[in-house]
Structure 1
């Protein structure tokens, strides 16, 4: 009888093990926790969740990594700040839907801390790499009780949101690992600045290191690499409820953004052929991506040496500093007399739009209205078109010194900077001079042509008159000469001399205005 009872209990244990093994391997329920030696795997066997350690460290962490990639690549860590000191950890799901990690003394060292509850909670690891808590059978992602995608570590996966839920105040941002063997939070964060000019910002502590420039319909004004291509589609949403950046991929290959321990933001793709992660691009491309490298009203051009220069209409605040390549002091206006009669705006093209501590955004204003709005406010120093929502309209105006400007010829935007009248007059004078030269040249050429026509006409008229008058003159002259020949015959001098007795006074009969008159 005892033997039969033992066999029955053994049979029941086998049935229990069978039933337990038949439970979906991608879920955790309040009745079934996982210990340090157990894992769960997503339905498509793309991701795995369990406890792990790094390098030679004995600390244990709960994390998610790629299932079928030979090099363990962790994409999410739960207890980054509170590691387990041994392998006694346990992941539990409470009846209210709260996930928690407990240590050997059954103290909670980490929990999901969701304010929502579920009637029949289940935790499921999805093929996207997202660990979600929901009501069993409810797959509506808008009703998730909690999800790991809302609390990223150092990795952004396709479909994850980097940004803010304005209703709840949730800020999804990346934080670097402290080192390759230490997943605790490092120095760098990568997030969306949700203010009126939404953009991606990298910080080291509280110091800004890099910014993407604002989104203007299809991409960020200062990051050419974050644009649509055959395998990569960036997504940016900014509305009353949320502002976030995300991306999708068209190729069926593992892809991820990682914020490294050194502060670089890298896009990586898995290469099966070489069994390694392939670096597609780094968001910060070159030196000109260093935040505020050239100071106020300075512009960075990576194709120039030195890289920094002042915008036209500005000059170095300290020429001595610029001579030694210290550009931090920036530039100042050559003529600071703005907000006077005759002032206006100068257009600069192909730029990463600047940063400033104060600015305003109007998503429905046209560029013409934008200029008028800026011109009537003396504190407004610049304006630009900003098409955040892809509607074709949008305006941003700046009210403080402009910083962190760089040349981006192919992808940059137009920026209109307020200038004193003298800066515009110089341009106008140059234009007027060219206009005056053109007018003078035109008048001179026209006058010369008129004179030539008149001379030609006069010569032609003169020649015609000569041809018309010449026969009459010749006839008159011939007639006079003939008459003179008939009335006044010519004599030889010797004959006259003999007739006057060698001009003897005895023959002289008088004297007139033409000389003496002799009798012959």
Structure 2
């Protein structure tokens, strides 16, 4: 069907009218005579951002916000009345005298206000292509003279060019950090969640979606207060948290469970004296700045004197890192959120008791005894009065007491391996870490380098081998691998030391040049295990019990971890006289 020229002309005119109508409604500025009703919008000059009323998701509440105009969906970047939503579609936005921006409902109630403090002559509201909603004088384009701007009142989204921080001159949120757009064709934004996770997103036109570019925290050390007060986080260490030098864990048991929230305390408490000292800690990220005081004109020495006079001041540093010893910054209260940054960190001076100073001298009382007093006390230096070699040794620790102690240690290890909330490997079990009470009940101490396992974890590895040689399992000493069988090996060494009365470290048999483990293995193979027994135990020991205990010890020090019994099995073997599997070769140091 042919169309007449009259019809075509009508279509052209109608299309032009639609275009003009659409263009005319896409305004980016309003003045005091205009209002934005629910359903109307402001559109930035380049058509990048749009301002209007909206409802998030399935909510019926109405909010005034800014979003990207040309993108599918609605990515909101700023909200005005996020704390005071409107319950209907009656909201309006307008400028009132003497230069306030307000949102009102149908009852003429003010829902939200910009609360500007300056009087304007001819105020206008404009939505910029940066996404910034600004209230300014009609003929003043200088950003420094804006009456109000949305970039000073952020939500959870940050756009290029946004300002955030604190302006100490005006006592208002203002520019402290500024992210200027580098490539204007790239659309990017940053978000901050309520859990403290910051993410940077980039719009990819090809897939019509936002793509995550960067996420912070990048590692555990970026987590706020992870290590508690006076502790520092170093991501390369295991565990990552550690007390600052001259500090110690406030809750050692919590640290064993990898709960560092209680942090650390000074090993020498402060007495708030005028002779307190400040120790320098270098290469750190400065602590949280919530409670601090600053002075831009002080020198570093003046800062120290001021901090020393204030007993609430716990640390100080220079304020201006670009100029040496310029400005003063000091912290009131505990220091939290410290991180090791060995190459890029700063120096901080922390208040300590004067006894922690290297130059401090403390008077010590040294008791003196005359030769006649010592001769009388030792029965003229009799060898039978030598510590550990008098008759009290055999009376105090007979065979039954030895078995009681070993059984208690085995049960203690079984508990931390399988019955405690977190399964723990001690990693430094030795005779000096076993304490006895008045009833000879043992207690395992010094969990300073213990490690815990979660869930189905059974083994771990470290590049930093610590502990005591002579008690280390071979797989740990050589490869850094450790598991519950590490403690089983250490327990086996203690068993053989208990039976023989000799230390594994430094022991060497005269004929074979073996250590204690090798010597015990040789005697066991040759059926001469009784020769290993300490002479002080001969009167109270039964041959079968001695051989059984030596057999248990040799099972625990086998070279392969899988061959060693668990501590649960060891407890069973210590309390039963059944047959055991044959021991394989031991590890020789």
TM interval, short-chain normalised? 0.5 to 0.7
Residue 147, structure 1, aligned to residue 149, structure 2: yes
1:350 is aligned to 283
Residue 413, structure 1, aligned to residue 415, structure 2: no
Q: Where does structure 1 lack aligned partners over 5 or more consecutive residues?
A: 1-13, 173-242, 429-520
Residue 90, structure 1, aligned to residue 92, structure 2: yes
Q: Distance in 1 between matches of 2:225 and 2:234?
A: 13
Q: Where does structure 2 lack aligned partners over 5 or more consecutive residues?
A: 1-15, 362-589
Q: Distance in 1 between matches of 2:21 and 2:74?
A: 30
2:55 is aligned to 53
Q: Deviations over 1:117-156 (max 9, x none)?
A: 4333321111121112223222123333332223222222
**CA deviation after TM superposition for structure 1 residue 106, in Å:** 4.5
Q: Closer, same or farther in 2 for the Cα pair 1:351/1:67, shift >3 Å?
A: same
SS at match of 2:151: helix
**CA deviation after TM superposition for structure 1 residue 65, in Å:** 0.9
Residue 298, structure 1, aligned to residue 240, structure 2: no
Give the TM-score normalised by structure 1.
0.57
1:111 is aligned to 113
Q: Distance in 2 between matches of 1:170 and 1:339?
A: 36
Q: Distance in 1 between matches of 2:328 and 2:238?
A: 33
1:37 is aligned to 39
Q: Deviations over 1:26-63 (max 9, x none)?
A: 11123332333322211122211122222122222221
Q: Deviations over 1:186-213 (max 9, x none)?
A: xxxxxxxxxxxxxxxxxxxxxxxxxxxx
Q: Distance in 2 between matches of 1:357 and 1:147?
A: 26
SS at match of 2:126: strand
Q: Distance in 2 between matches of 1:332 and 1:277?
A: 46
Residues 163-178 of structure 1 aligned to structure 2 (within 5 Å) = 163-166=165-168, 168-171=170-173
1:127 is aligned to 129
CA contact (8 A) 1:363 1:386 kept: yes
Q: Distance in 1 between matches of 2:91 and 2:312?
A: 59
SS at match of 2:162: coil
CA contact (8 A) 1:350 1:413 kept: yes
Residues 30-429 of structure 1 aligned to structure 2 (within 5 Å) = 30-94=32-96, 96-166=98-168, 168-171=170-173, 244-252=176-184, 253-336=186-269, 345-355=278-288, 359-367=292-300, 370=303, 381-387=314-320, 393-398=326-331, 400-419=333-352, 423-425=356-358
Q: Closer, same or farther in 2 for the Cα pair 1:118/1:382, shift >3 Å?
A: closer
Q: Distance in 2 between matches of 1:99 and 1:340?
A: 55
Q: Closer, same or farther in 2 for the Cα pair 1:368/1:22, shift >3 Å?
A: same
Q: Distance in 2 between matches of 1:132 and 1:84?
A: 22
Q: Distance in 2 between matches of 1:337 and 1:99?
A: 54
Give the TM-score normalised by structure 2.
0.51
Q: Distance in 2 between matches of 1:29 and 1:36?
A: 17
Select the structure with the greater relative contact order (CA < 8 A; seq sep ≥ 6): 1
Q: Deviations over 1:388-424 (max 9, x none)?
A: 6767723334454333222223432123334556545
Q: Distance in 1 between matches of 2:321 and 2:249?
A: 33
Q: Distance in 2 between matches of 1:44 and 1:356?
A: 40
Q: Closer, same or farther in 2 for the Cα pair 1:149/1:383, shift >3 Å?
A: closer
Q: Deviations over 1:468-520 (max 9, x none)?
A: xxxxxxxxxxxxxxxxxxxxxxxxxxxxxxxxxxxxxxxxxxxxxxxxxxxxx
Q: Distance in 1 between matches of 2:22 and 2:211?
A: 40
SS at match of 1:249: coil
Q: Deviations over 1:218-258 (max 9, x none)?
A: xxxxxxxxxxxxxxxxxxxxxxxxx7332223122223222
Q: Closer, same or farther in 2 for the Cα pair 1:22/1:376, shift >3 Å?
A: closer
CA contact (8 A) 1:341 1:421 kept: no
CA contact (8 A) 2:216 2:222 kept: no
Paired residues in the alignment total 346
